[in-house]
Amino acid sequence: MPKGNDIALVFDGDRWWVKDAREEARALPPTQEGLLPGHLPETGVRLVLLPLEAMLLRPFQLPLARPSLLDDALLAQELADMTGEPADAWWLCWSAWSVADGVEGLCMGMPVAWQREMRAARALRATPVVTADGVARLSSWLPTARQGVAAIVDQDAEGVFLGVANAWGWAGLRRLNAAMDTVDQALAEEVRLTLRAMGWSDDAPVFGRLGARLFDLLACDDWQGQHCADDALPDRLSATFVAAAEINNTPLNFRRAHWRPNSLAFDWRQWRRPAVLAGALMLAWLGAETVVWWQLQAEMREQQARIMKAFRQALPHDPVIDPLAQLQRAAGSNSGGAAQTSVVLRELAALARVHARQPWRVQSLTFTAGRVEMRGEIDGLKGLNTLQKQLQQALQREVRIVDTELGKNTVRFRMEWS
């Protein structure tokens, strides 16, 4: 089975064929049920081409302000009105442009059962282009710069693809199957009538490839393509694979709406190593954060233990309800220095409340004649600024950052307030 990033799959109506840039085209084993073959390439399918004869092709004209207003529901209803078939029988794509009285274009539909089967196929999830073989064949002959209407024809040993294009897109597409020994004036006349019905005029240019007999019978006024001996024409499948190598995208692409290529369809084996490394980094980060959290919890427990120790020493017979408040009341009832002790306890209570919201490591706390100096360490300048604001709110006074010393991940600081 071919592997790579440039695999083309072609369905000729009976069998599936596969080819990449390094191999000859070969048939895939058929399946008993459904459309797709039993064994698809694992990855790298760039293009799927379906037989144009199996597609629904209809030109349309709708009274809309711009092409962007087109949607599946509008076109499905229009097709149902034109063909009498159920609106949900086809999966649609289209080429459209603005005209004086609305929007016109060409709609192409594939049987919705085919679309559902291909959508479910894992091997095709990332395939960017699914279209008709005639679209690929005729697109390969489109001139780079187009002005006005032009006919595009591409003959092979089994028939001829016909199309008419303008500066905005395809106005019509058709396949006429005809063996080389049946090419006659009747076929040439049908080619002319078909192209005229699509909007081409006899004096407009014609691009593409024709065998010598059909070229002579058509006698185009403005032929700008190639012609060759009838026996030099390739067979349909070979010509289709040649065109498949050149097409990258087209407006008539069935991979649209909720069937866009799946960006999540990738080979897990290619990403296994980066995923393992990313997982290891995530675990390391979570481990470091867990260690910091446990350190902060231990610091909080240590401070709570100090408060409880002071409470037991000062009030050994009182029940513990709110240790800081109880110590403050007890200190306020004593004589000599009671007022100063009460201030200190209020300061400590405020610091404890702030620490619960914004933890930091206290290195020293000094009370001197109404002035308080605190030295400590905190994670980052942002944390230091947050701590300053929260202390000012809790203490109801100005807190100044007197000195800082930046470490690798922390900031040592000295604060004062009075």
- Higher pLDDT: 22 or 277? It is 277
Which among 121, 107, 105, 112 has a CA at the least distance from the CA of 48?
A: 121
In the chain, the percentage of residues whose pLDDT exceeds 90 is: 48
Q: With 90 as the cut, is the pLDDT of residue 208 above it?
A: yes
CA 64 to chain centre: 30
Q: With 70 as the cut, is the pLDDT of residue 127 above it?
A: yes
What pLDDT score was predicted for residue 332?
A: 57
Q: With 70 as the cut, is the pLDDT of residue 337 above it?
A: no
What pLDDT score was predicted for residue 313?
A: 67
| Segments making up each domain of the chain, as ranges | 7-266, 271-357, 358-418
Average pLDDT over every residue of 351-374: 85
Q: With 80 as the cut, is the pLDDT of residue 292 above it?
A: no
Average pLDDT over every residue of 339-356: 77
What are the pLDDT digits (tens) for 395-412?
A: 888 999 999 888 888 899
- Higher pLDDT: 338 or 320? It is 320
CATH 3.30.1360.100 given to domain 358-418: yes
Distance CA 11, CA 18 (A): 9
Q: With 50 as the cut, is the pLDDT of residue 265 above it?
A: no
Task: Answer whether 417's CB lies under 8 Å from 368's CB.
Answer: no
Tokens (6 digits) for 113: 């059962």
Average pLDDT over every residue of 96-125: 93
Average pLDDT over every residue of 315-329: 70
Q: With 80 as the cut, is the pLDDT of residue 297 above it?
A: no
Average pLDDT over every residue of 346-355: 84
Distance CA 164, CA 167 (A): 11
Average pLDDT over every residue of 277-282: 86
Instruction: Report the length, in residues, of the chain.
Output: 418
Tokens (6 digits) for 410: 């922390």
Which among 181, 134, 131 has a CA at the least distance from the CA of 158?
A: 181
- Residue 234 pLDDT level (bands cut at 50, 70, 90): very high
Task: Answer whether 403's CB lies under 8 Å from 413's CB.
Answer: yes
What pLDDT score was predicted for residue 105?
A: 96
Phi, psi of 286 (to 5 degrees): -65, -40
What pLDDT score was predicted for residue 145?
A: 62
Q: Which residues contact 46 (CB under 8 A, 6 or more apart)?
A: 5, 6, 7, 8, 127, 128, 129
Query: Comparing 100-114, 147-161, 292-306, 379-393, which segment has the lowest mean pLDDT?
Result: 292-306
Q: With 70 as the cut, is the pLDDT of residue 152 above it?
A: yes
Distance CA 14, CA 30 (A): 9
Amino acid letter for position 116: R
Q: Which residues contact 388 (CB under 8 A, 6 or more apart)?
A: 399, 401, 415
Q: With 50 as the cut, is the pLDDT of residue 223 above it?
A: yes
Q: Are strands 411-417 and 129-132 parallel, antiparallel or unpaired?
A: unpaired
Distance CA 48, CA 130 (A): 5
Query: Comparing 76-90, 244-258, 263-277, which segment has the lowest mean pLDDT?
Result: 263-277
pTM exceeds 0.75 for this model: no
What pLDDT score was predicted for residue 40?
A: 84
Nearest-5° Cα angle at 319, 318 to 321: 120
Query: Comparing 5-9, 24-28, 151-155, which segment has the lowest mean pLDDT?
Result: 5-9
What pLDDT score was predicted for residue 252?
A: 95
Beta strands per DSSP E along 101-147: 102-111, 129-132
What's the chain's average pLDDT?
86
What pLDDT score was predicted for residue 309?
A: 73
